[in-house]
Structures are given as C-alpha cells and as structure tokens.
Amino acid sequence: MYVTPPTPPVTRPVAAPVWWQVFGPGLTALIGLFMLTAIYRFDGMSEIQRDFGLSDVSLLLIGLVAYLAGAALAAPAGLLLGARFPTAVAVPAACFLLLGVALAAFAPAGGVLAIGRVLSGLGTGAAAGATVALTLKLRQLRAAIAGVFAALAVLSLVLGPVIGQLISEAVGFRVVQLAAIPLLLIALVVTGVIGLVRLSTAKRPAPPVSYGMPYPPPGPQSGGV
C-alpha cells in the first residue's frame, strides 16, 4: 500500500516592520518625554513644588529620579519586544503613562505624586524602547525616521518647561497633567489602528503543495484467470 509522506510543518518568517508602525509607540514616547520636564521651569520654583511644599531635593527625587527609574525598568522590555510585538508593547505603555498623569493630576500629597511619576516613567521607557527597536529593524527610511524622532524628542524635552510654566501660571499645574490625557487617548487609537492595519496587510505564505501521490500508481492487477 502506498503511504503519502507527511507534510513538513510550515514556519512563517517574521515580517520586517514598516516605517509607519513607529508612529504608535513614538507618539506615546514623545508625550512621555514632554511630561518628564513639564513640571519644571527655567526661572525659579515651579508651581508643583510650591503647591506641595517640596524642597529642591524632594522635587529632584519625586519629579526626576522616580520618573527615570521607571523608564530604566521598562526600556529593556521595549527594546526586546518592541520590534516583534509593537502594538502589544505600545498599548500598555500608553495605559501606564495615562494612569501616571492622572495620579499626578489628582495627587493629594507627594507620595501619590511619586507613584504617578514612576508609572509615567514605565510607560515612557517602554514606548521609547519600542520606538528604538522598531527603527533599528526598518529596511527603508531608517535614517530619516531616526532623525525625525530624535529631533522631536529633544524638542519635547525643551518645550516641556516652557509650555508647562505657561499653563501652570494660568490655571495650575494639574491642568498640565490633565492635558496629556486626550493626547494619550489619541496615541492609543493610533496604535490600535496601526496594529489592525498591519495585521490585515501581513502576507501569509500559502501552505506548500504536496507532491506525493494520494493513490498508488496504476499497474497490472494480480490474479488468475
């Protein structure tokens, strides 16, 4: 009896990311970098320091060190997983940042503010790591995308104290934190849409055609007359 050989398992190659996938985690990372410096001002004591009665050292620990510590913890995960699972990394990153700015906006004391800054740092670090990982894996426009996001990152850090000071002096520092929430919701929508589009346009290789003969070749039948 002829037996058809088993079909070898099909392994799908991992598709290289495309340039527009960077915009999901990239937008979240830019918002996070802006929020990193938005609580400061260039010409003296910030509104958040005055409202909470924080010393310079306390502001440094709560405002900067806590944020950077969270970013340092989450950035490796973004670097390792961001290129392969950009949506799965960018969505939680935006959620962490969203929760962090909400806690900072409604914080009654410095302890809650510190927790909010750590959560914001986690989201920013994961999104920044995913952005870097995606950019390094690009086959086209890698240099252009890297240059644009590097310039925007520096601009976000520089504009944070300027815009934060203007809003804080007019309506309070809490509004600065609340203003980030609709931007993060937009980042979540952008990330989700990009993930769905990438999923629907991913090329799925067809299973290999079996060249085995399902039936034995025709031949003379054995038997007597």
CATH label of the domain that carries residue 23: 1.20.1250.20
Full domain range(s) for residue 114: 19-200
pLDDT of 17 reads 75
Hey, is 56 helix, strand or coil? Answer: helix
pLDDT of 10 reads 47
Assigned domain for 222 exists: no
pLDDT of 65 reads 95
pLDDT of 29 reads 96
Q: Which of 167, 173, 180 is nearest to 30 (CA)?
A: 180
Counted domains in the chain: 1
User: Cβ distance 24 to 187 under 8 Å?
Assistant: yes
Distance CA 219, CA 201 (A): 48
Hey, is 53 helix, strand or coil? Answer: coil
Under DSSP, the state recorded for 193 is: H
Assigned domain for 46 exists: yes
Distance CA 184, CA 18 (A): 22
Q: Which of 192, 144, 159 is nearest to 30 (CA)?
A: 159
Assigned domain for 174 exists: yes
User: Could you tell me the pTM of the whole model?
Assistant: 0.81
Distance CA 96, CA 72 (A): 14
* Tens digits of pLDDT across the chain (225 residues): 555 555 555 444 456 777 888 999 999 999 999 999 999 988 878 888 888 888 889 999 999 999 999 999 999 999 999 889 999 999 999 999 999 999 999 999 889 999 999 999 999 999 999 999 999 988 888 899 999 999 999 999 999 999 999 999 889 889 999 999 999 999 999 999 988 888 887 655 545 545 454 555 555 554 444
Hey, is 191 helix, strand or coil? Answer: helix
Distance CA 89, CA 77 (A): 8
pLDDT of 222 reads 46
Assigned domain for 31 exists: yes
pLDDT of 207 reads 52
